[in-house]
Structure formats: structure tokens, C-alpha cells
Chains A and B, each alone.
Chain A
Amino acid sequence: MTEINVLNKKFQKEINSGVTSLVLLSVMAQAEEPLYGYQIAKQLSNDEQNAPAMKQGALYPVLRSLEKGSLLKSMVEPSASGPPRRYYSITSNGRKILTEWIKLWEKTKSFVDNTLGGE
């Protein structure tokens, strides 16, 4: 049983590592104002009842790597209580890439679905 769990966890992690960028980018594209990490994480856990087991901490490095690729931009703002917050928003390049990624995702999805259905 535990061995299956370990395998499941590993597989889920592998799936997540690719999908997270797409999900985050699309969340940012839908956002009307800049969001900080906790808001994004909250939104993801609120939105989906059947959200995959994704640790919130794993979102942050992805946000930073998206920023490094200039798909997102960020600015730090001091908050009245607690540490300063980093607000993220999508760039125009990010929007362009997102439409590409959605196409890729559709393609991958139908490929996987077809393969699984064809069994």
C-alpha cells in the first residue's frame, strides 16, 4: 500500500511540475489586479474541489521562474502588518505565451485522452 502511495505521490509531482506554470499563468491572466502569493494560493485551493495535492510552497519558485522569463512582473510593497508582500501581475509577453501554452495543453490533453481511451 505504502509503495503505491509513494509511486502515486511521485507521479503527481511529475505532472504538477509541468502544469503549475500553466495554471499560475492563467490565474494571473484572469486576475484584475496584482496578486500576492498567498492570494494566489488561496484562490487555487478555493476554486477547485478536486485540486491535485499541490503544496502551496511549491507555487512560489514557479512564480519566480515565470518572472525570470518575463512572463510575470512583480513589485514589493510594504504591508501594515507583517513582512512586505510581493505582488505579481502578468506581462503582455505572458499573455501571448499563455495562448500558446493553452494550445499545447489542448494538444497534450487530447493525445493523452486518445491514448487512454484506445486501450
Chain B
Amino acid sequence: MSKLIKQYLTLLKRELTGTDRATIQDAQSDAEEHLNMALQSELEKYPDKSPEDLLPKIIEEYGSPEETAAAYTQIEARIRPALSYSNQTGGGGFSRFFGIFADPKAWGALVYMLISLVTGPLYFTWAVAGLSTSFAFALFIFGLPVAVIFMFSVKGISLLEGRIVEGLLGVRMPRRQVFFPQGLNWKERIKVLFKDKSIWMAILYMVLMLPLGVIYFTLSFSLNIISIALMITPFLQEILNIPLITFSGASYFLPNWLLPAVMIIGLLLLTGSMHLAKLLGGWHGKLAKFFLVAE
């Protein structure tokens, strides 16, 4: 490979420091392919010239390293939310399995699963209470304002939940309210509101969040606690002399040969539960997108 192309690739990499590793790799391989192809075809056209004569013009047409780097970062910024920068590409099975601890997506999903015990029941209560109050008050004249306020609150909550989902699960969600038609009288406005499919979908999502939240929390919490308990069992038993079980006056200890195995199982379980969190997080992101993003 020509020295100038190598130099270009190094400069391009330097310009892209701080961006996702996959992007740098993409940019470098694109540039390498293009510059080599261009050089080859120019050399066929002008066989008496050297690569060093031809390359400056080729590079000028391709764009300076700064320009090329800017083109990549611009497009990345446009199409990917913050957490979708997964920092693991390649690597063996071993490093991929344990690399999950360095993956912001897994941590984001774990946090989401833990807080869903709070948000889930909250959404559910709000949706069910709002719906039933609206229906009950529909008999009276003030039933309508209650329903309208409830509908608007659902719009707000679904936007907020979207922000949480995008922040923690890395799925691109709406950043603004859906445009509400202007210049209607109040009767038409209410009609638009009640016919709005996205509001009904959001209510459905809020109801669904109760069981989901309970499942997410229970899964993530219990798996993490069990794995941590397994991992610290040797310390408890050997250093603090705390038995595994105490049953009618008798203390039961694990045999020593089993202790390393217990630790390893704990570590594997913890790592596995991080993978599960990431998987469920991805799945929930899709679910949230389906229910909360208007078509």
C-alpha cells in the first residue's frame, strides 16, 4: 500500500477519535478501498506517473481526513441515539460474554428494569383511575373536562416514558409532542382527542406496564441478588464463619471443594443476567416503540 494512503488512514483515525469503534473501522475501510481503486485506475490511465504524483489529486477529490471524518460523525449523530453506541465489536466468545459489563446498553436496561417497579404501577394506576373516573363522571356535565384532562395527561406521560426508554434502552423515541391541529372549536378538538389512536395505544401500554414492571423488577433483582450471594458465600463461610443454613441448632457449611464452583456459578449467573437484561431491554424498546410512537 502506498505510504500516502497509509498516512491518510492514520490521519482519518485520529480525526475520528472518540467515535464508535465500528464507525472508525467503516471509515477506514471505505477510504482504503476507494483510494486504492482510484489509484489503480489512474495508474492505468497514466502509466508513466508514480502513485505519489497521482494521489494528492485523488485525495483532494475524496476529501481531506477532516472532511471525511465530519461526514461520518454527522451521519452517526443523525441516525443513532446515545446508548446505541455499543462498544463491543469483534472479540472472541469469552470477551464478548464478559464484555457485557462494559456495555452501557446492558446497564441501561438493568436500571430500566429496576425502576419499572415504580413506573409500572404508577402508569397502571393513572390509566385505570383516569379511565374509570372519566366513565363514571360521564353521567355529569363535568365528566367531559375530566376525560379531556386525562387524555392530555396520557400524551404527556407517553412522551416522558419515551424519553426514559430512549435514555436507558437506546431506542430512538419521539422528542416532541405530536402536532395537535390548531384553529378548531372545542367540540372538534375533543373529537380529535378521542379519535387519536396514539392516546389509546399509550393507555394500553400504561396498563401493560404493571405486569411487565413487576416481572422485570423481580427477574433482575432476584437474579442479581442470588448471583451476588453465591459469589460472597466463600467469604461468609471461611472468614466470618457464617453457615449456609442453620436448622434446629445445627449449622450446615458447604464443603470446601465446592466453594470455588459456587463462586464461578455466581459470576456466570451475574453475567448471564446482564445478558438477559440487555435482551429484555431491547425487546421492551421495540414494544415501547410499537405502543408509543404514532405512525
Contact = CB atoms under 8 A, between A and B. Distances in A.
Interface residues of B, number: 25
A48 to B, nearest CB: 14
A70 to B, nearest CB: 13
Given A55-B68, A57-B68, A83-B33, A38 B38 contact: yes
B63 A55 contact: yes
A86 B26 CA distance: 11
A55 B59 CA distance: 10
A73 interface: no
Interface residues of A, number: 23
Interface in B27-55: 27, 29-34, 36-38, 40-41
A95 interface: no
Contact of B33 (A17, A64, A68, A84): A84
A34 interface: no
B71 A55 contact: yes
Interface in A20-75: 36-38, 41-42, 45, 55-58, 60-62, 64-65, 68
B200 interface: no
B34 A57 contact: yes
B71 A61 contact: yes
A118 interface: no
Given A65-B75, A83-B29, A83-B32, A55 B37 contact: no
Given A60-B26, A61-B76, 18 more contacts: A37-B37, A38-B33, A55-B61, A56-B34, A56-B62, A57-B62, A57-B68, A58-B63, A60-B71, A61-B30, A64-B75, A65-B75, A68-B79, A82-B36, A82-B40, A83-B33, A84-B33, A86-B33
Interface of B: 26-27, 29-34, 36-38, 40-41, 61-63, 67-68, 71-72, 74-76, 78-79
30 contacts: A17-B74, A36-B37, A37-B33, A37-B34, A55-B61, A55-B71, A56-B63, A57-B31, A57-B62, A57-B63, A57-B71, A58-B63, A58-B67, A60-B27, A60-B71, A61-B30, A61-B72, A61-B75, A61-B76, A62-B71, A64-B26, A64-B75, A65-B78, A65-B79, A68-B79, A81-B40, A82-B40, A83-B36, A85-B33, A86-B29
